[in-house]
Amino acid sequence: MTSALSRTALFASWHRHLASERRAAAKTLEAYGRDVRQFLDFLETRPQARIEKLAAADIRAFMAARRAEGVVGRTLMRQLAAIRSFLRFLEREGVADASALAVVQGPKLPRSLPKPLSASAARSVADVATRAGEEREPWVLARDAAVLALLYGCGLRISEALGILAEDAPSDARDVLRITGKGGKTRMVPVIAPVQRAVADYVAQCPYALAAGTPLFRGAKGGPLNPRIVQRAMEMMRGALGLPATATPHALRHSFATHLLGRGGDLRAIQELLGHASLSTTQIYTEVDSARLLAVFDQTHPRARRAG
């Protein structure tokens, strides 16, 4: 097999390629790097394995070993993606033959539907009055309500909401947000009046100077707001409203899409609002809406009730 020094050099070259040419996110670089290092360490236990021309059995054996260690399907899918990226890079560099990848299939993942909140629950979560009894500074409660309002009212991810700069804050004069999502893809998202008001309430109460070029949403000490704070705020809402554990900040984005679709929203338009690269990703919300309608039918139609 390739010497340890060569493997180290090949790994470093591929990692630089991911960072500079593919512009992978920091978390992707960290996870993929860890995955490929684990794979290379595993190959050391298989004397017959040659990285220049790996057999499909070598890759399958690694996946089986990881599963035996308790690694779940989604992590295995990511590890296979990392290995694929590494081997295809080596193939382009003329170092390895990646043909074995063609016959290696990833693990089958259970298909789970997004779990949106009801419209009334989603509105309550984004209402500052829901947490009025808490011993928190009013501006903090207004801030949390504004972030959650953006997640539900605009279908944003937490990272997208917290990435908004002060000068881009929604207002009466600015009812459209330019959002940069996954993969650097930019989209325009309209901001409805209740969300504008929630953000305006926060801006009016925020004790820190919201200068141009700085984050709109601030933590208690004035720095950028940590996503974990938003998650904790949602946990407080779950307790106050009696919501299930599936009521997370990201569930508000699911709720945005599901409620739009349920009101007759166009699937292509919802795709653009969410920033999905593929329509197939957005189509899962049609299944959510169908499941909801069937559940209502089963609960309410007199002929739908099953015999006990």
Task: Judge contact between 250 and 79, C-beta under 8 A.
Answer: no
- Widest distance between CA atoms in the chain: 72
Q: Which of 66, 218, 253, 254 is catalytic?
A: 253
Cα 86 to the center of its chain, rounded Å: 24
Backbone CA torsion sign across 183, 194, 214, 251: negative
Considering the candidates 218, 254, 259, 276, report the single residue annotated as catalytic. Answer: 276
285 is catalytic: yes
Please tell me the chain's helix, strand, coil percentages from 3-state DSSP, rounded to the nearest 5.
Answer: 60, 5, 35
Question: Does 259 participate in catalysis according to the annotation?
Answer: no
Q: Is 253 a catalytic residue?
A: yes
Residue 109 exposure: Cα atoms within 13 Å on the Cβ side:
12
For the question of residue 276 being annotated catalytic, the response is: yes
Establish whether 250 is a catalytic residue: yes
Tell me which of 182, 185, 232, 305 is the catalytic residue: 182
Buried b (16+ CB within 10 A) or exposed e, 81-101: ebbebbbebbeeeebbebebb
Select which of 46, 67, 174, 250 is catalytic. Answer: 250
* Measured distance CA(141)–CA(137) in Å, rounded: 7
Which entry of 7, 66, 157, 254 is annotated as an active-site residue?
157
Q: Which of 32, 152, 202, 285 is catalytic?
A: 285
Active-site residues: which are they? 157, 182, 250, 253, 276, 285
